Structure 1
Amino acid sequence: MTDIGVILGATFVSIGALITLIGIFVCFRSEPHYYNPEDVDAMIFATISDRDFNKRHGIQIGVKNLHSNQNSEDSRMEDAIQPASTFNVSEGPLYSMASTERFLIVGGINSIHGWLWADLKSGQTKPKKSWSITLPTKTESIVKPEVNSLCTDGNGEVLYAGCGDSLIYAFDLSSGTLKQSYAGHKEYVHCLSVRDTQMASGSQDGDVLLWDVRENSWHNSLHPHEKEGVNRSNLGKWIGCIDLMDDWLVCGGGPALSLWHLRSLGLSTVYEELDSPVHQCLLEGEKVIAAGHSPRLIHFNLNGGIVLDIPSSSNCIYSIAHAKQPREVISIGGTSPRLDFCSCCKYRDYILFFCDSS
């Protein structure tokens, strides 16, 4: 069974207004569940921000059999999902989402909330929060920072949060206590990537900082906006996406999408095909998967060549997620109520959207 989560940053799909998807994740499950396993293969989790109607911000859950389109010759087959349940998350907008084996985690303004996957999958219409964390910000601060990025360590024991106060926080998920904070950026943190003891962060200040998570100070930095061929002064110097893998780091935003060698801190490749702002990037083996302010999800090789160019329902893509086991799926979300799915990661083979729940 496939669990897919999406953060929507506008209004309910049923209102018919523009939907902005600002986060997506994909994970799998095979354990028994309350739906008929012969009829259902996927559960769609969506967080919803309704700015016009009572300022509701919540999670919407729907169900879809992802196998149903596998043998179809129609590569743009669309289907609607009736929401199975909808429940509020917070009084403010939702900015980020992460997942562990146990928890669905959502970041908002000055707070992080967690739900047990077991409760979400049980069919409860209004599952209770398992826990909430309030950021340890200065009490005299009037403006509360947003949680722009969430990621966990490989064991799902530590949660890292990149926030609008220019700090990164590490929380122990078993106790909810603050383990460490990381200061180094001069403006708010947009993105994080953690692999083992390595952490990379990108910020509005244009810097990429490299950390050992066991220390509270960064040890190296990259400045993509200062590199000829990477700098795009008309788009700004902000770094909006980042990913780590072994000796490599990929990042983008205002500066062009670029690949860096971590040991030498040298620039390896500039991906010029994405000539607009870059919002998402993933390092997957010998490929870089990226998207941004265009209706295209592009797979590059490490040398910059295009391997795949997949169209999207969204004119601007804010989120991509790649799951590999037990079945490979890529999810794409952006400025459209429609979610694109690539089950074999080679082409878009179905499109889903939430229908009117009234």
Structure 2
Amino acid sequence: MLNKILYNTVLSQTLSPCGKYLVAGNIYSQIAIFDLDRVLNPVVELLTSDYNKPKHIHTLESGHQICSLATSNKFLIVGTVNEIYGWDWKNAVSSKLSKPSWVIRIPSQSPLEQTDVNGLWLTEDEGRLYAGCGDNNVYVFNMEDGKLVSTLKGHTDFIHSINGKNQQVITASEDGTVKLWDTRSGSSHNKLEPHTNSKVSRPDVGKWVGSAAIGDDWIVCGGGPRVALWHLRSLDAVTVFDIPDHGIHVSFFHDDCVIAGGAAKHLYQLTYSGEVKVELPVSATTVYSVLLSTNPKVLTIAGSSPEIDLCTTFNYRDQVLHFR
């Protein structure tokens, strides 16, 4: 019987508040805890052959895939199917995972409904947790008591990603739209439909939008349509990035650059004017998760592979971690 872990797909990653642990979640209900400190600062005399493998692997009893991960100062936050779990960090990085500190259940119209929590975004003050879900809705929860604060409705198909900045939340959906929401009013005040723009449309790949992020003056998004830079106020496509991909699942801003990846052989760092600054080869045939941290300085790239690429200079792949 073939080892299913060879066909592993890592959907999500996050970093512990101390920066010592990388957490990755896969389609087999497993959470891997990597000791980044050991990987980045090895003591040669104590180095073992499994230094680049997980320190611990926790398997959830539910059997549901780990769709999304987030970090607060106190908790590892795990989005699965129908539920969001919170484990205190001491417990999360221990050898055995006990019961979660808290559980939030996604509101359901039917007991048979299976709702994937595809994206999590925590406000800067850690007071609100936004969950972009497979039932087309965004649910906003109070982190103090876990109660539902509001529901953001408007998408007509499942939500792929959710991010936020400056009292705005941005969501990308299978329905082909990107919506901007006001965190104060809970209403959608603007939307993009990239597939209707001839410069970015790719009907052969589809209209879905896999990822969107917001900056001070810009939006970056891609999916079936090409990854492009849009002006926040005018909602015009200013730069269309010409990279060889068959669908974008990751896009975000970093240091006056755009990071983008998906069904491609590389993760790309792009200038706002459209130039390819860095092409990073990736192990995964499709990238679903990219984590970038400046403390510690590390970039990790994961997707449809048991390997997670690790870069410390953001310019080339230093090491490969093995989720096996």
| Length-normalised TM-score, structure 2 | 0.91
Letter in 2 for 1:287: C
Aligned to 2:97: 126
TM-fit CA distance, 1:28:
4.8
Where 1:90 maps in the other structure, the secondary structure is coil
Question: Following the alignment from structure 1 to structure 2, what is the Cα–Cα distance between the partners of residues 26 and 198?
Answer: 24
Residues 13, 25 of structure 2: 8 Å contact kept: no
Tell whether 2:224 aligns with 1:254: yes
Aligned to 1:268: 238
Tell whether 2:274 aligns with 1:304: yes
- Tell me: CA distance 1:124–1:336, structure 2 relative to 1, closer, same or farther (3 Å): closer
- Tell me: CA distance 1:196–1:90, structure 2 relative to 1, closer, same or farther (3 Å): farther
Question: Following the alignment from structure 1 to structure 2, what is the Cα–Cα distance between the partners of residues 69 and 350?
Answer: 13
Superimposed CA distance per residue, residues 209-239 of structure 1 (whole angstroms, 9 cap, x where no aligned partner) = 1110122321111110000110000011001
TM-fit CA distance, 1:85:
4.7
Aligned to 2:108: 137
Q: How many residues align?
A: 318
Aligned to 1:7: none
Aligned to 1:94: 66
Question: Following the alignment from structure 1 to structure 2, what is the Cα–Cα distance between the partners of residues 141 and 89?
Answer: 19
| Structure 1: runs of 5 or more not aligned | 1-12, 31-41, 51-56, 72-76
Aligned to 2:53: 81
Residues 95, 108 of structure 1: 8 Å contact kept: yes
Letter in 2 for 1:94: I
More RCO (CA 8 Å, sep 6+) = 1
Aligned to 2:138: 168
- Tell me: CA distance 1:89–1:240, structure 2 relative to 1, closer, same or farther (3 Å): farther
- Out of 17, 20, 24, the residue aligned to residue 46 of structure 1 is 24
Aligned to 1:149: 119
TM-fit CA distance, 1:295:
2.1
Aligned to 2:311: 342
Aligned to 1:20: 9
Please, which moves more after superposition, 102-111 or 286-295? 102-111
Aligned to 1:209: 179
Aligned to 2:321: 352
Question: Following the alignment from structure 2 to structure 1, what is the Cα–Cα distance between the partners of residues 272 and 42?
Answer: 32
Please, which moves more after superposition, 221-230 or 188-197? 188-197
Cα RMSD, aligned residues only: 2.4
Residues 15, 23 of structure 2: 8 Å contact kept: no
| Structure 2: runs of 5 or more not aligned | none
- Tell me: CA distance 1:93–1:78, structure 2 relative to 1, closer, same or farther (3 Å): closer
- Tell me: CA distance 1:223–1:70, structure 2 relative to 1, closer, same or farther (3 Å): farther
TM-fit CA distance, 1:314:
1.4
- Out of 201, 226, 233, the residue aligned to residue 196 of structure 2 is 226
TM-fit CA distance, 1:118:
2.6
Letter in 2 for 1:132: V
TM-fit CA distance, 1:306:
0.8
- Tell me: CA distance 1:128–1:154, structure 2 relative to 1, closer, same or farther (3 Å): same
- Out of 298, 304, 312, the residue aligned to residue 329 of structure 1 is 298
Where 1:81 maps in the other structure, the secondary structure is coil
Where 1:291 maps in the other structure, the secondary structure is strand
Q: Name the % identity.
A: 32
Residues 32, 54 of structure 2: 8 Å contact kept: no
- Out of 260, 263, 279, the residue aligned to residue 290 of structure 1 is 260
Please, which moves more after superposition, 235-244 or 125-134? 125-134
